Structure 1
Amino acid sequence: MNDPARSWWGWGRRHDALSDAECVELAHLLPGLAEAPLPVPDVSDLHLPAPRLRAPTSLEHLCSADPADRAAHTFGQAYRDVVRALYGQLSTPPDLVAYPRGELHIVELLDWAMSNSIAVIPYGGGSSVVGGVEYRGGDHRGTLSLDLSALGEVLEVDPVNRAARIQAGAFGPALEDQLRPHGYTLRHFPQSFEFSTLGGWLATRAAGHYATLHTHIDDFVESLRVLTPAGTAESLRLPSSGAGPSPDRMFLGSEGTLGVITEAWMRVQDRPRYTASTPVSFAAFGDALEAVRAIAQSGLHPSNCRLLDPGEALLSGAAGGGESVLVLGFESAHFPVDEQLAHAVELAGEHGGRQRSSGGSEDDAVRSWRSAFLRMPYQRDGLARMSAIVETFETSCTWDRALGLYEAIQQELGAAVTGITGATPTINCRLTHVYPDGPAPYFTVIVPGRRGSEVAQWDEIKAAAGEILHSHRASITHHHAVGRDHRPWYDRQRPELFASVLRAAKHTLDPHGILNPGVLVD
């Protein structure tokens, strides 16, 4: 039932993964790595625990105990997931993977699970990088991975209200293909777009690559339909409402622990006809931050406003002279955007920015960044096979703390990583999203690891990064979600009174505690 073209252990499609030779070539950029890549295990060589469950006869046709299905649904796509898969360390795979083809199937599966103390892990594309789809133990009799990929249709398009009713299992490309004949787009393109689903975006409050204005999936939600062990919750379709706390907000970001999102009415957009982009270079990163703040507060709302620090610009091929690069872009379905781009470039120039092209069409630096952005997860996997430790984490903070946070990560985390690994790390940063009151910095840490101890070293680095973010009053995540990896810092970030309310909601909606246990609340 699982897509045979997908990699069971790493990112994306098998034929797009780096070859052994490409892994070795990439490792030449980082002295101190292993001489040969870790081999990719064949599923047939894995020693998975025997399934503890057998579906009742009425549900057998929906469930699979095939080792390939179980292996592919054990982990998400965090670095520690990839490394454990490479070592064949799959000690807690789901006992069964269920592929419901309608809401009635989901109800029947939840009823069976509730009656038999079976943990249910809702699963979209499996692209979680925070342990969001991994069962990590408990007192359940077994684990069922609930794969919603068969529910992938755009069910209705409403041109009067410019909205569409879409099933939660729709993967990004299929969703856009179904909207295209109507002249619409959802306009939500996370880096995981090809391998993630609408339901996953909603459950994790995902952010797309549009850097300003409508950044999170929340901005496009008109109403949600959610199945819970206690019943069905469906909100009223409205453009906005002041009637109490929003029911949609309770399920947005709930990460499968309060209910299973099955469909949503989403606001769609006219497809863009006009685009313009250009890179702008800065000698000093601090000046670049001030320029981005000015643009974010200008009301121009660029679709792309990605600031790359010198290391990130070098890694992506956008620049190589120690400069920071701001990738600016605008788009519209209704009017040319060259004037908006010119205004943004002018604001950048007031803070020392130097435009590197005349604007309009995409130049080499912009193309290099875009290509590197899409290829990055495959390169992460290649480095993992060479026993490099690659940690990525993102956050958000107010503008007055942005430069201080950036410098703290470089210095404090750099020292911590050196203490953990004995090597000097590469630490790069880019701003993925910007708001009038603050940016969302995204950091990448790359350092040679010790073969056989990569996961333990990654865990220490993750903990050090989390503590620095907390001490600087920055969010533990901007768009990667909480999952299980971010729980310690999420528990400290949220008000305890809210945690009590969340636990009460969990108890009401999921009284037997079967839905994605360990995520958000205990």
Structure 2
Amino acid sequence: MTAERSWWGWGTTDRALPDDECVQLARLVPGLPDRPRSVPRVGDLALPPSRLAAPAALPVTTEPAVRAAHTYGKAYRDVVRALSGDLAGAPDAVAHPSTEDDVVRLLDWAGSAGVVVVPFGGGSSVVGGVEYRGDRPWLSLDLTRLDRVLEVDAVSRAARIQGGALGPVLEEQLRPHGLTLRHFPQSFEFSTLGGWLATRAGGHYATLHTHIDDLVESLRVVTPAGVSESWRLPGSGAGPSPDRLFLGSEGTLGVITEAWMRLQDRPRFRASTSATFASMVEATAAVRAIAQAGVHPANCRLLDPGEAALSGASTAGECVLVLGVESAGLPVEGRLAELTGLARDHGGVVAAAEDSAAGAWRSSFLRMPYVRDGLARMSAIVETFETACTWDRVAELYGTVQAEVGAAVREVTGAPGLVNCRFTHVYPDGAAPYFTVIAAGRPGSEVAMWDDVKTAATELLGRLGATVTHHHAVGRDHRPGYDRQRPEPFALALRAAKAALDPAGILNPGVLVDAV
């Protein structure tokens, strides 16, 4: 039996925190209310009347519960708005195409009727990427019925997969072939292949093939101007890559209906451990040495003292490095020994196998979105932002964020908050720090308070030359930082591509470029 998806928060309803656990967690953040706010019943929600009457032949519904569940993504500000019953921006209708022809017909109708179309993926966007903030009628396009692995090429080790396949769905279909896509973002259960491609998603694996880009062989995309399908090739020097036009396009240029994806044999050998460090200086040096050694661990997560304590990996005020290796064909103990040797060379204390923090970190990692939702019910501010920069700037970035975002939290809330950090991905030339902010909010003002903190963080990242997002995409929330980061000649080209492929301006307007 499939668990029910939460309409307002993360994941499934059976894993949401009960009221008493919300109260218990809130004791970690002084100044919060005594009881959590109630979760509104879908039947009690006041949705605006639908402005659409789609042709009966199209797979479109205006059912209130479906519209409510497709109003927002799953960012903190989305959860708070849903909890407050603010569904003024709900889609006028939701489409569930079952074939590519359905997608073509839906876009043709929307273009002729002036209806905005916002691809929904699995709805796990945390950057305002699946909502519409304009005045036109809009349709949420849910592709999760296009969820099949259509073809497997075992010789080339690749598969043709429909864009609406959720992570578990596609992996289950690859399992009988002994193959895996090996792309596991935190949202794996609740996000789709098409969503990963459209947002250039980052997976769980911390080195080497960190982004979905590296796994793409070819794409098939439905645009208002026609269907684009690139050739299957292991590599090509034939001009700018057509796939690169749509990777990261966030539903603004077309709808990704299929992709040929590079696969791997399923791992048979795994090993993990952890190491502790007295300071972030030592720990960062160790991680850089590992990233530049060419050992390519599957997991290389550095937790600062605050993040280590929050995840239960350590409560002794130390930094924790979680390491993991895996292989389909060879034992991995030798590679793990190399990694632990590098950690020791930089002052790390490697845990005994039975004392490793890897298990505690993984459990916390998977549970954290539910914790976020529980604290949101208690009016806490609990949100993250991630970035990346080169190694020569990592120390400055970490220290500046701790100081300046911490100061912004104090100014906005009137009290200190937590600003924790972990490195989610590491490269030979840099790292991707991921920050978590936890503070006491004021009931009714939580969204505005977080927006103020987020604005300060975005300004800081731009000033330091760090990316506004490493793997969460741009959406609407990151547009100010993206506009600053993006070269103007590229902006001209992107606007021209938008005008050529989507002349009516119906696809996700306001994301990446201004609406037509």
| Band of TM-score, shorter chain | over 0.9
The 3-state SS of whatever aligns with 2:182 is coil
2:79 pairs with 1:82:
yes
In structure 2, C-alpha distance between the alignment counterparts of 1:118 and 1:224, rounded to whole Å = 25
2:496 pairs with 1:504:
yes
In structure 1, C-alpha distance between the alignment counterparts of 2:400 and 2:126, rounded to whole Å = 24
1:367 to 338, 359, 368: 359
In structure 2, C-alpha distance between the alignment counterparts of 1:437 and 1:19, rounded to whole Å = 44
The 3-state SS of whatever aligns with 1:404 is helix
Match of 1:103 in 2: 100
2:273 to 257, 269, 278: 278
The 3-state SS of whatever aligns with 1:210 is coil
2:26 pairs with 1:34:
no
The 3-state SS of whatever aligns with 1:516 is coil
1:363 is displaced (CA, Å) by 4.9
Match of 1:267 in 2: 262
Match of 2:437 in 1: 445
The 3-state SS of whatever aligns with 2:421 is strand
Match of 1:170 in 2: 165
User: What is the TM-score when the length of structure 1 is the normalising length?
Assistant: 0.97
2:448 pairs with 1:456:
yes
2:259 pairs with 1:237:
no
CA contact (8 A) 2:3 2:14 kept: no
In structure 2, C-alpha distance between the alignment counterparts of 1:298 and 1:268, rounded to whole Å = 25
CA contact (8 A) 2:22 2:374 kept: yes
Q: Deviations over 1:361-398 (max 9, x none)?
A: x7551110000000000000001000000120000000
In structure 2, C-alpha distance between the alignment counterparts of 1:341 and 1:248, rounded to whole Å = 36
Q: CA RMSD in A?
A: 0.9
1:13 is displaced (CA, Å) by 0.3
Match of 1:8 in 2: 7
Aligned-pair identity (%): 69
The 3-state SS of whatever aligns with 1:444 is strand
CA contact (8 A) 1:391 1:462 kept: no
In structure 2, C-alpha distance between the alignment counterparts of 1:326 and 1:276, rounded to whole Å = 14
Match of 1:353 in 2: 348
1:349 is displaced (CA, Å) by 1.0
Match of 1:415 in 2: 407
Instruction: Report the residue type matching 1:411 in the other structure.
Output: A
The residue correspondences of 1:211-222 to structure 2 (distance < 5 A) are: 211-222=206-217
Match of 1:134 in 2: 131
In structure 2, C-alpha distance between the alignment counterparts of 1:302 and 1:15, rounded to whole Å = 34
In structure 1, C-alpha distance between the alignment counterparts of 2:435 and 2:223, rounded to whole Å = 36
Match of 1:121 in 2: 118
1:416 is displaced (CA, Å) by 1.1
CA contact (8 A) 1:171 1:196 kept: yes
1:321 is displaced (CA, Å) by 0.4
The 3-state SS of whatever aligns with 1:10 is coil
The residue correspondences of 1:272-311 to structure 2 (distance < 5 A) are: 272-311=267-306
CA contact (8 A) 1:223 1:264 kept: yes
Runs of 4+ in structure 1 deviating by more than 3 angstroms, as ranges, are: none
In structure 2, C-alpha distance between the alignment counterparts of 1:82 and 1:237, rounded to whole Å = 40
2:154 pairs with 1:159:
yes
1:452 is displaced (CA, Å) by 0.7
Instruction: Report the residue type matching 1:459 in the other structure.
Output: D
2:149 pairs with 1:150:
no
1:124 is displaced (CA, Å) by 1.1
The 3-state SS of whatever aligns with 2:456 is helix
In structure 2, C-alpha distance between the alignment counterparts of 1:511 and 1:386, rounded to whole Å = 45
In structure 1, C-alpha distance between the alignment counterparts of 2:150 and 2:355, rounded to whole Å = 39
Q: Extract unaligned runs of 5+ from structure 1.
A: none
Instruction: Report the residue type matching 2:124 in the other structure.
Output: S
Match of 2:506 in 1: 514
Instruction: Report the residue type matching 1:385 in the other structure.
Output: R
1:64 to 61, 69, 72: 61
User: What is the TM-score when the length of structure 2 is the normalising length?
Assistant: 0.98
The 3-state SS of whatever aligns with 2:363 is helix
1:459 is displaced (CA, Å) by 0.6
Judged with a 3 Å threshold, the aligned counterparts in structure 2 of structure 1 residues 103 and 520 are, in CA distance, closer, same or farther, namely: same
The 3-state SS of whatever aligns with 1:57 is coil
The 3-state SS of whatever aligns with 2:22 is helix
Instruction: Report the residue type matching 2:442 in the other structure.
Output: R
Q: Deviations over 1:274-331 (max 9, x none)?
A: 1111101100111100100000000000000000000111111111101100001110
In structure 2, C-alpha distance between the alignment counterparts of 1:75 and 1:48, rounded to whole Å = 13
Instruction: Report the residue type matching 2:76 in the other structure.
Output: Y
Q: Deviations over 1:212-248 (max 9, x none)?
A: 0000000100000000000000000000001111000
Match of 2:378 in 1: 386
In structure 1, C-alpha distance between the alignment counterparts of 2:209 and 2:3, rounded to whole Å = 35
1:57 is displaced (CA, Å) by 2.3
Instruction: Report the residue type matching 1:119 in the other structure.
Output: V
Q: Deviations over 1:150-196 (max 9, x none)?
A: 00000001001000000000000111100000000100000000000
In structure 1, C-alpha distance between the alignment counterparts of 2:355 and 2:52, rounded to whole Å = 55
CA contact (8 A) 2:111 2:506 kept: yes
The 3-state SS of whatever aligns with 2:307 is helix
The 3-state SS of whatever aligns with 1:211 is coil
Instruction: Report the residue type matching 1:274 in the other structure.
Output: F
Instruction: Report the residue type matching 2:461 in the other structure.
Output: L
How many residues get paired?
513
2:468 pairs with 1:471:
no
In structure 1, C-alpha distance between the alignment counterparts of 2:374 and 2:410, rounded to whole Å = 22
In structure 2, C-alpha distance between the alignment counterparts of 1:5 and 1:28, rounded to whole Å = 29
CA contact (8 A) 2:161 2:258 kept: yes
Q: Extract unaligned runs of 5+ from structure 2.
A: none
CA contact (8 A) 1:228 1:259 kept: yes
The 3-state SS of whatever aligns with 1:125 is coil
2:248 to 250, 253, 256: 253
